[in-house]
Amino acid sequence: MQTIYLDGQSLTFEQVQAVAYGGANAPRVEISDAAKKLVTRAADAVQTLLSRGTIAYGITTGFGAFKDKIIPPDQVELLQHNILVSHAVGVGNPFDIPTTRAIMLIRANTLSRGHSGIRLTTLQLLVDMLNAGVHPVIPEKGSLGASGDLAPLAHMALPIIGEGKAEYQGEVMSGAEAFKRAGLKSITLAAKEGLALTNGTTIMTAMGVLQTLRAERYSQTADIAGCLSLEALNGTDLAFDERIHNLRPFPRQIECAAYLRSLLKGSEFTREHSSLNVQDAYTLRCIPQVHGAVRDAIAYARWAFEIELNAVTDNPLIFIDEKDEITVLSGGNFHGEPLAIAMDYLAFSVAELGNISERRIMRLTDESSNIHTLPAFLTKEGGLNSGFMILQYTAAALATENKVFAHPASVDTIPTSANVEDHVSMGATAALKLRSVLDNVERILSIELMSAAQGVDFRKQVIGVEKRLGEGTRGVYAMIRRRVPFIEADTVMYEYMESMRQLVAEGKVIAA
């Protein structure tokens, strides 16, 4: 089994995905030897500061608006305990297990850089929880995306001190009981540790990484769905000619057009270039321009989150120079603005994949729009049968909902902590909205693929069953037909829709 060694500098998207979704086959996580030395050095520095009586935020002072309240040395441990129990005020549904595992991994990684002052034993306990499958119950809502993701991260850390709830082997129980069953022991936090565990952008980062990976899958799936729809609609691939796109050299527009050409290569379902009908509607003709622009947003999100995965985002930070001089600096790396903007940009961009997909579904089902290439609502006996009429309604409802979710969270702010924390990013809200957009796009693309396959079957009745789809789309069509039959007459369709959604969500459309 693969082992991932955390050093705070080299964690990748693919490693996060493997730990989050790997289940019983997830890689084991360890702290690198180099990181252990740096973590220990910073923890020793905290003890040195205490022995000197140095005043340092969050170590010998209160938090937020209580930054000027000096904490006596004999109450420093209680201070760290109190930050967890007082900040664990999240609400809403708990994060699913994959997201929770990503949160734990990313938090452990940033603490491994050795600037946070946490003891190695405390950090190792967080890693041991992850490896043992002890998953804290973390409510989704409560973070403002500045001063870090305080409330949800407090819930993450509660089992470490014997508090809170956790999931273990499929059962939710008290954190203390989960530790007992897993053979772990809770601890008393030392100076700075409560702050180190809670003060950072980990919730935003975990969700951003996982949702960016989904966006990458759905972007490619949208290209595939668009090509299968084009074949069902007797469209032309002329608009994907590389000469067109080289004259407007957006790199990802060019990449998208090349991918579309590869999917459609060898297709006998596309319209001849010499046809009098020389161009298609925008939803087919402009796929590279629209889908390519979405690829830009996805690439930006990956860039931002690749940086954040290996960033130190708590406060204050501890620096030790070559002469062993200790400096504690207060700053604002916990502020989630770069992530909030990236997720808002990604959310409204991915919503466009849903918008254009829904319009292609409309064209597949509207006989007049597709110039009578396909029967009305993709059914043989229209009137008696409604066919795919209401599937387009569902897609339209989801696309419309996404327009609400596309409103940026990052343009809002609300002051907290007696106006000390007077500007916040709302990055966690942006992350939750992004996930909702992707959920809806996942279903819209599923409907388009199902509709396009139905349309291809009607085309076969006209041009002949022996005609071949494109090199990329023929495998997708065959996979759809293994799950979803041609709909001869009205039947219960939501189960087919769910089966199709699973194929999209699991990346099987891309694999096919």
Residues noted as catalytic: 57
Cβ atoms of residues 389 and 377 within 8 Å: yes
> Rounded CA gap, 471 and 469, in Å?
7
Give the count of beta carbons closer than 10 Å to the beta carbon of residue 438: 26
Q: Give the Cα separation of 239 and 99 in Å (integer).
A: 40
Cα dihedral 502, 503, 505, 507 in deg (nearest 10): 150
Task: Please tell me the distance from the alpha carbon of residue 404 to that of residue 400, in angstroms, as a whole number.
Answer: 7
Q: How far apart are CA 383 and CA 255, in angstroms?
A: 43
In the block, residue with structure tokens 């998208």 = 256
CA angle (33 as vertex; 29, 36 as ends), nearest 5: 90
Q: What is the DSSP string of 317-372?
A: EEEE-TT--EEEE---TT--HHHHHHHHHHHHHHHHHHHHHHHHHHHHH-TTTTTT
Classify 380 in phi/psi space as left (phi over 0), alpha (psi -120 to 50) or beta. alpha
Q: Which of 354, 512, 362, 367 is nearest to 437 (CA)?
A: 354
Within 8 A by CB and 6+ apart from 494, the residues are none
Tokens read off for 23? 């289940």
Amino acid identity of 319?
F
What's at 13, amino acid-wise?
F
DSSP 61: B
Tokens 């022991």, residue?
A: 185
For residue 3, give both structure tokens. 């082992």
d(CA 419, CA 24): 46
Is 298 strand, coil or helix?
A: helix
Taking the C-alpha atoms of residue 487 and residue 498, their distance in angstroms, rounded to an integer, is 15
